[in-house]
Amino acid sequence: MGTITAVSRSGEYTFTKPNEDSITLLAGLGVEGDVHQGVTVKHRSRVKRDPTQPNLRQVHLMHAELHDELNASGFQVAPGQLGENVTTRGVDLLALPTGTRLHLGPHAVVEVTGLRNPCPQIDAFQDGLLKEVVGRDEHGNVVRKAGIMSIVLVGGDIRPGDEIRVELPAEPHSPLVPV
């Protein structure tokens, strides 16, 4: 089990999202009051390509362990500042397979759809940060560390301190890819 350490949302297209005492997840839509809430894609670059695409990026989750790593490397990063809605601790988000269900707090459930594909806005936030969250492994494969995306299956209020329970999908598991 893991823990929610922060919840964040923004009603405007801003890179960072202010922390809240709690947020409400709405089934099939995302975070109530967040600019990315909706059935169809809301990220501006994706809307330009095809506004009818399903919104597989309703809730962005990021592991607090990444913040720890970045801060140890000299960056100043706090929950919500990289655009995430839910900051977690104790769950290896990047290792989860596609279709994993995360039970957040007493009621909410999200289904993991894929990896966040970090964009150059991260360098506008702090110069050099993009290369810290996107790199290559020993085999030359791209490694994305900027969190995961999900859709809301069951709504509910979530807040810092709530537990996270991981429910893996049936095998065979499919690794996460950018969405």
Complete domains list, the chain, with CATH: 2-167 (2.40.33.20)
Q: Per-residue pLDDT tens for 163-175?
A: 999 999 999 999 9
Q: Amino acid identity of 168?
A: L
Euclidean distance between CA atoms 95 and 172, whole angstroms: 14
Mean pLDDT in residue range 90-113: 98
pLDDT per position as a tens digit, 58-83:
999 999 999 999 999 999 999 999 99
pLDDT in tens, 13-57: 999 999 999 999 999 999 999 999 999 999 888 888 999 999 999
pLDDT value at position 105? 98
- How confident is the prediction for the chain on average, in pLDDT? 96
**Residue pair 110/153 in contact by the 8 Å Cβ criterion:** yes
pLDDT at 44 (0 to 100) = 83
What local confidence, expressed as pLDDT, does residue 110 receive? 99
Q: How confident is the model at residue 4, as a pLDDT?
A: 98
Q: Are 127 and 74 in contact (CB under 8 A)?
A: no
Q: Which two tokens stand for residue 12?
A: 């405007």
| pLDDT of 121 strictly over 90 | no
**Dist. CA 134–CA 151, nearest whole Å:** 23
